[in-house]
Homo-oligomer: A and B are copies of this chain.
Amino acid sequence: MENKRYYGIDVGGTTVKIGLTENGAVLDKWSVPTDTSDGGRNILPDIIRSLPGPAAGAALAVPGAVLPDDTVNRCVNLGWGVCRPAEEFTAVSGIPCRVLNDANAAALAEQRLGGGKGFESVLFVALGTGVGAGVVLDGRLRVGARGTAGEIGHLCLDPLDTAAACTCGHTGCLEQYASATGISRLAAQAGYPGLTSKQIVDAAAAGDGKLEAVVDRACDALGRGIASACAIIDPETVVLGGGVALAGEYFRAKVQAAFDRYAFHACLGTEIRLATLGSDAGMLGAALYAMDRP
């Protein structure tokens, strides 16, 4: 029966999460440490050694850009440059393999099984160190012609805000306001250096007016960016995930209010929902991707 089984493999900077799935159900899951030494060359052998047996397919969710032909274009956190890990994985394991971006994997999982369940078109936005994203249309993940589909984190919101220099080389990207890093940056600007985004959102929710203004500014940027993305792809719904979104309804409601302020009138009514799969989303999405495109 192993030919209906798929491995979903979420390769993070410190841990690799692996799940063995059958018809979308997780039969078993485990993890292995990510050995980033030596250009990350032990990562794939370590993963393959941990697998209990053959399968119909596998997919690797990785923290970096992936081109539509499964070429990885750098994963700084893994030590990988431009490489083709699916080929190496298949050559050693004998298991057909695909590669996708980790936020894209989470998008697919949240659309099928999580916060976007019941919708065929979903914009997923993951608020972590950066802002990741993914687009599912007609029930299928869209990676785009160059693998950037959904890259809402680099929408240019304010090209003149020189305080918001982005790692991408531009200025005023959404990521500089709405990621965990961005929220901490805004708080530091407001006179509260050294706080994590969780500390900031918790204090704001507990009634700190100055930090609430910081959170409002982050949510305003995020709502405006999501409004732009919805004008372009017009999904049925939007799902917010990642660490920052763990702040829950307090944060979601602020993003929804900002979206409603900026949205093109025909997009009003688009609901912003919270992700539900937590840190399993990448692994689950990778397994679904392997099933979709064996």
Contacts and interface: CB of A to CB of B under 8 A. Distances in A.
Interface of A: 65, 73, 121, 135, 137, 142-152, 154-156, 159, 168-170, 224, 227-236, 262, 264-267, 269-270
Contacts of A234: 143-149, 151
Nearest to A231: B151
Q: How many copies does the complex hold?
A: 2
A169 B265 CA distance: 8
Nearest to A140: B138
Q: Which of A156, A170, A227 has the most CB of B within 10 A?
A: A156
A220 to B, nearest CB: 9
Contact of A232 (B149, B159, B264): B149
Contacts of A65: 266
A227 to B, nearest CB: 7
A235 B144 contact: yes
Contacts of A264: 148, 151, 154, 168, 170
Contacts of A143: 234
A203 to B, nearest CB: 27
Contacts of A152: 231-232
A270 B146 CA distance: 9
A223 B65 CA distance: 23
Given A232-B229, A233-B144, A235-B145, A151 B224 contact: no
B266 A151 contact: yes
A215 B18 CA distance: 54
A215 B25 CA distance: 56
Contacts of A230: 148
A224 B159 contact: yes
Contacts of A149: 232-234
Contacts of A232: 135, 149-152, 155, 228-229, 232-233
B266 A170 contact: no
A266 B146 contact: yes
Nearest to A229: B232
A170 B77 CA distance: 41
A235 B234 CA distance: 16
Given A147-B234, A232-B233, A159 B262 contact: yes
B224 A154 contact: no
B154 A231 contact: yes
Contacts of A148: 230-231, 234, 264, 266-267
A73 B168 contact: no
A146 B146 CA distance: 26
Given A142-B137, A264-B168, A267-B148, A155 B236 contact: no
26 contacts: A121-B144, A137-B142, A144-B233, A144-B235, A145-B234, A146-B266, A146-B267, A146-B269, A146-B270, A147-B266, A148-B230, A148-B231, A148-B266, A149-B232, A151-B231, A151-B232, A155-B232, A156-B228, A156-B262, A159-B224, A168-B264, A168-B265, A169-B265, A228-B232, A229-B232, A233-B233
